[in-house]
Structure 1
Amino acid sequence: MSNLINTEDIVSYIKDLVSIPSPSGYTEQAIAYTASFMEKHGVEYQITNKGALLASIKGKDDGKHRFLTAHVDTLGAMVKEIKGSGRLRLTNIGGFRWNSAEGEYCKIHTSSGKVYTGTILINQTSVHVYKNAGDAKRDETTIEVRIDEAVHSRAETEALGISVGDFVSFEPRVEETESGFIKSRHLDDKASVGILLHLIDLIQQNKISLKYTTHFLISNNEEIGYGGNSNIPNETIEYIAVDMGAIGEGQATDEFSVSICAKDASGPYNYKLREHLVSLAKENQVDYKVDIYPYYSSDASAAINAGHDVLHGLIGPGIDASHAFERTHVSSLKHTASLLLHYLESELV
């Protein structure tokens, strides 16, 4: 079945998704995109009270269930203060460093629905004016948004309809290279959402009969810690979070294979389930890496912390420069999708 996987379709979904602003707490548009996909493909779904999407495909065995999740919410910010200059002070949404957002274009989403553009800058940007511009600390007190409007005071900015609590999203700048790389903000975790959508497409189009009833949660609060800790049916035996593999010095994960997580900051993932995934990868010539992510947690660990009695696992495409300007390769997308498809055709552990 792996030959059915089409990375062009996955990349198309990713491009669509990263172009929809969806910082945690402001995900309705992105969830609406996935809802439209489910309706088009005839998949039953519900929107949870917390605003996530839970889709379900019945399997041959409806007494034991599987659960896959990927999150559509991203990093972003919120207006903390309108400064006397008319520029905006921000508070971050999700765990990123301000230097990774400095110089990025952004959008300010007002409560009236009007959207303004701006640029995220340090308040001492010009080297012609500030001798120590490169040494100044980048944090919530020094980073600001320069709005693309003729404003010079708090009152003028407020007159635009901008207020404290407005969401701020970062431009993705998505690009696909001839060498097969996809670089963009928010590949964490919209790359995995694109993979799940493609798998659902394959299942429906090819009338693949799943061994077990399987649920697909498109969660919307993972970046703030609780996206996948609810709406898990009691019949669920296995729970796999499909989320990015972390790349860096000392890591095994790369941009060309699927990363299988053995442990993150929440502790070890289920050993039997991990070994099952490794075995499937070996049997089906799927390139994989087993890795440990030291400063990381997932929707699967959130489910365990919430007290759910499931076997939990974590796999995903390798993403370079996580929580900054991210990149992966189509081969990593393909190997991740392939492993998941073989997993869905396998027996429970």
Structure 2
Amino acid sequence: MVGWTLELLQSWGFTTELTCRGAIKLKIPGKDSSQARALTTHLDTLGAMVRYFQDNSRCALAPVGAWSSRFAEGARVTLNTDEHEYRGTILPLLASGHAYNERVDQQPVNWEQVELRIDEYCNSFQELENLGVQLGDFVSIDTGTEVLENWYIFSRHLDDKAGVAALLNALRLIQEEGHQLPCTTYLILTVCEEIGDRGSAVLSQYVWELVTIDNGVQAGTQHSREFGVT
């Protein structure tokens, strides 16, 4: 994702910088450089990784980012190894109602209760290793994206792909139409927001204000709106 975004920005004529942490940084000179502003969003999103191999050739998983396994159950995924990509499904340990009856609805909800079944002929721990699967391999969750005629967009990972799309589109229009911003502006696209790593360390000392573009959590205790910016 970082490589794709870098190539896109460079194709639009922007000079980009890749930090040692993998974040993308770029500077847009403005009329006033003494009181710079900054906008930031994050390219990373939720996912999973292989935690250990089970004897039945399935993979136990650990979450990447803070999300419940209840939203992973039934998801189609891609297992990314060093050499190959394998398709698969995340399923509960007790997935069959025919076999487990009421126990299906009684099992706890946590990452210990789900497993990754890859779409390859594989019956043992050793056969899984022979496919090149390793501990720590990342699992990418399918987005299931739908763009409806009424402009509703459904997709996993809109946190924060929606914010990235909004920022990139604004950059494209600024470049295409030759706008000069009132003040010098820094754009920072980070890669570790979901796991709580630091992102502001790459900010210039001349930045006076920072605006973060991210999803607004919808909950009774949050002052947020589904149909607006808060």
Question: 1:211: how far off?
Answer: 1.2
Shift of 1:250: 4.8
Partner of 1:118: 88
After superposition, give the CA deviation of every residue in 1:218-240 in whole Å (9 maximum; x if it has no partner): 11000011252211111111011
Q: Which residue number in structure 2 is paired with residue 90 of structure 1? A: 61
Quick one: which of 34, 50, 57 aligns to 1:79?
50
**How many Å separate the matches in 2 of 1:252 and 1:53?**
30
- Matches of 1:215 and 1:82 in 2, distance apart? 44
Q: How far off its partner does 1:138 sit?
A: 2.3
Q: Which residue of 2 aligns with 1:40?
A: 11
CA contact (8 A) 1:71 1:227 kept: no
Q: Which runs of 5+ in 2 are unaligned?
A: none
Work out whether 1:103 is the aligned partner of 2:74. Answer: yes
In 1, Cα distance between equivalents of 2:229 and 2:168: 17
Q: Deviations over 1:162-204 (max 9, x none)?
A: 0111111100011101121111000000100000001111111
Return the alpha-carbon distance in structure 2 between the equivalents of residues 58 and 199 of structure 1. 15
1:286 corresponds to which residue? none
2:143 counterpart SS class: coil
Amino acid paired to 1:228: G
Letter in 2 for 1:121: L
For residues 50-84 of structure 1, what are the alpha-carbon distances to aligned partners after superposition, in whole Å with 9 as ceiling and x for unaligned? 11100110011112211100101011111001100
- The one-letter code matched in structure 1 to 2:163 is S
Query: What residue identity is the alignment partner of 2:104?
Result: A
Distance, in Å, in 2 between the alignment partners of 1:249 and 1:66 is: 32
Which secondary structure does the structure 2 equivalent of 1:191 belong to? helix
Contact 1:71–1:189 (8 Å) recurs in 2: yes
Partner of 1:201: 172
Alignment of structure 1 residues 177-192 onto 2, 5 Å:
177-192=148-163
* TM-score with structure 2 setting the length: 0.96
The answer to whether 1:248 aligns with 2:225 is no
Identity of aligned residues (%): 36
Between the aligned partners of 2:221 and 2:119, the Cα distance in structure 1 is: 42
Output aligned runs, 1:219-298, within 5 Å.
219-259=190-230
Residue 217 (1) aligns with residue 188 (2): yes
Residues 234-281 of structure 1: CA distance to partner in whole angstroms, max 9, x if unpaired? Answer: 11110111001111335443332112xxxxxxxxxxxxxxxxxxxxxx
For residue 169 of structure 1, the aligned residue among 140, 144, 148 is: 140
For the Cα contact (< 8 Å) 1:122–1:138, is it kept in 2? Answer: no
Which structure is richer in relative contact order (CA contacts within 8 A, separation 6 or more)?
Answer: 2
Q: Secondary structure at the match of 1:257?
A: coil
Q: Which amino acid in 2 is paired with 1:174?
A: T
Q: Which runs of 5+ in 1 are unaligned?
A: 1-29, 260-349
Tell me the TM-score normalized by structure 1. 0.64
